[in-house]
Amino acid sequence: MTQRQIIAIGGGGFGRNPGEGIIERYILDQSKSKKPRICFIPTATGDDEGYKESYYSTFSMFDCKPVHLDFFKRTPDLEELILEQDIVFVGGGNTKSMLAVWRDWGLDKLLKSAYQKGTIMCGVSAGAICWFDSGITDSWSRDLRVMKCLAFTKGVCCPHFDEEPERRPTVHQMIKNKVISECIAIDGGCALHLINETPHGSIVFSEKKNAYCVSMESEIINESPYPPINIF
């Protein structure tokens, strides 16, 4: 039976700390390949060059085959590129713009096909929430909003839960106002690892971090942590 995996990072990794490689090593270790093929998709930053440099400087430390996918230069054959990867890593940035580009090119369907065949899907911020039914995003400048995503797995996801001061109170208020019923909230320095759409654990790569299922019972907000797996 094919194992489907999603590793959703709340914040951090090579975009912030290039060369550290803690969560990156964990991601590579989940592949059955001895030399995993990994593709970075930085669409959410408009294919930012510095972001790509940080990606290559970090993954070049490991025995893997890193490539990237550009949409704002000449774009390769998407089916050929995506379906040969062991891992896809999606960068942070503007989720709404990213998904609009993907859907126009048909990348969303190719990613779904690859996921169902066992390609590990992972990413940070926009690249974390995109795999869920919906995500809480700052794609709009004025406020945080819930937007529909790719629905590879169920739930509403919020990254940067402890890093950005508006995140926690916004999630709590959305639940109280019944905008959402519950939320998967992920701190920076932590990732939620899902196997076959079921949470496996919080992958903790910085001190005092976790991921939570945030819900409300009897008008009281509860933040229930997922089992932590410390890797730092």
| Catalytic option among 31, 134, 160, 193 | 160
Give helix 49-59 / helix 22-29 axis angle, nearest 10°: 70
Q: Where does 5-160 show beta strands of DSSP type E?
A: 5-9, 37-41, 65-68, 87-90, 120-124, 132-137, 145-148, 153-158
DSSP string, 58-95: HHTTSSSEEEE--SSS----HHHHHTT-SEEEE--S-H
| Catalytic option among 31, 125, 134, 206 | 125
Q: Is the Cα torsion angle 97, 100, 105, 109 positive or negative in sign?
A: positive
Specify whether 160 is catalytic.
yes
Please name which of 183, 43, 19 lies closest in space to residue 107, comparing C-alpha atoms. 43
Instruction: Please give the Cα distance from 163 to 59 (Å, whole number).
Output: 25
Instruction: Please give the Cα distance from 70 to 7 (Å, whole number).
Output: 22
Beta-bridge mates of residue 6: 121, 194
Please name which of 152, 179, 12 lies closest in space to residue 88, comparing C-alpha atoms. 152
Instruction: Please give the Cα distance from 144 to 166 (Å, whole number).
Output: 8
Q: Which positions are annotated as active-site residues?
A: 125, 160
